[in-house]
Amino acid sequence: MKDDLIGIRSPFDAPPDEGCVTEVAEGVFWARLPLPMALDHVNVYVLDEGDHWTVFDTGLDTRRNRGIWVKLLAGPLRGKPVERVIVSHHHPDHIGLAGWFQAGGAQLWSSRTVWLFARMLVLDVQETPLPETLAFWRRAGMDAAMLANRATTRPFNFCDVVAPLPLGFQRLQDGQVIHAAGRDWDVRLGQGHAPDQVTLWSRDCPLVLGADQLLPGISPNLGVYATEPDADPVAEWLISCARFQDIARPDHLVLPGHKLPFTGLPLRLRQKIDNHRGALRRLHDHLAVPRRASECFAPLFKREVSDDTYGLALVEAVAHLNHLVAQGQALRSTGDDGTWVWQACKASQAGVTGRETSDI
């Protein structure tokens, strides 16, 4: 086996208990916060700056999570203040308490896109889904009964679990170098799961703060929404994975947004690329006859999709279908009922793998 294909391993048998931290490297501590969903946790990291802390990601803004942070700061974090919060991306489980920390005097650091998305969404309160969202779900082929129910139900709003974000932040850009926990870190932005997601790569030791861009064993959702219905996040994801392959080392200790820290990053990146290529091949075969997005779950996920995960499955199906269209492997048309249908282009089967390889 080549050195860059060394297996994926974790040096930790279990995560820290609630209200506790685990030191994963000198001056870098790992804590875990609960999530009210199937993926029931998010990892956060605390970097020792001497007389204060830098926090990397925050968890949802809930009473329980605020209590956990109070316990952490008063206990294992020794009462030192948080003066900087670095947010990897705009999803609520990562930015939820950033504004709470800011209200306590911390400065927020993130990419510009992350801050703009989060600031926009936390101010966008909806009592029922917008007409554009309902139209998108209808075109994607959402079950009629589910669509009717959602049309009259208050949707998830960012402000439900994200603290208000005051004006002002420090911008992080790709290629920038920042200092934290006695180390210099290269800022590298990833794409696909969330735009301009921040990852930090230590120059002083093989340590990476990978957020949701670099996860072990699971793949983050790559979704398309009514905000940008023709987006191709799958292409962005594959390009990011290939870019990180150029700098990944087997001994990098990756600190992910979920699951356990791990080594074996080159192999994990190869798996991520191969997994999506395989899903695209299965999806392409499935499109031998016209299909709606809601009819494409089986080849993509190879498991039953529950009502709780239906929404995420639908937006990920659209993402992969959009990618096949962008690659010239499928065509999208609109049926008589206004629903989108996709079908594989004739004689394109041999091109799925080849075109995919050439693009990344």
Q: What is the DSSP letter of 175?
A: T
CA distance 58 to 37: 17
Please tell me the CATH code under which domain 281-359 is placed: 1.10.10
With tokens 């309160």, the residue in question is 125
The residues facing 43 across adjacent strands are: 32
Domain with CATH 1.10.10 in the chain: 281-359
Q: What is the DSSP letter of 6?
A: P
Note whether 300 and 316 are within 8 A (CB): yes
Residues in Cβ contact with 29 at an 8 Å cutoff, skipping those fewer than 6 apart: 21, 22, 23, 45, 46, 47, 48, 76, 77
Low-confidence ranges of the chain (pLDDT < 70): 1-5, 347-360
Domain with CATH 3.60.15.10 in the chain: 3-274
Tokens of residue 20, six digits: 């506790």
CA distance 84 to 92: 18
pLDDT at position 346 is: 78
With tokens 């974000």, the residue in question is 165
pLDDT at position 5 is: 66
Taking the complete model, does pTM exceed 0.85, yes or no? yes
Among candidate residues 90, 88, 41, the one with its CA nearest the CA of residue 64: 41
pLDDT digits (tens, 9 = 90+) for 252-290: 999 999 999 999 999 999 999 999 999 999 999 999 999
Tokens of residue 5, six digits: 């294909």
Under CATH, which architecture does the 3-274 domain have?
A: 4-Layer Sandwich (3.60)
Among candidate residues 134, 128, 131, 194, the one with its CA nearest the CA of residue 157: 128
Q: What is the identity of the amino acid at 227?
A: T
pLDDT at position 91 is: 98
CA distance 345 to 329: 5
What's the residue count for the chain?
360
pLDDT digits (tens, 9 = 90+) for 200-229: 999 999 999 999 999 998 899 999 999 999
Note whether 59 and 93 are within 8 A (CB): yes
CA distance 115 to 94: 12
296-317 CB burial, b ≥16 within 10 A, e <16:
bbebbeeeebeeebbbbbbbbb
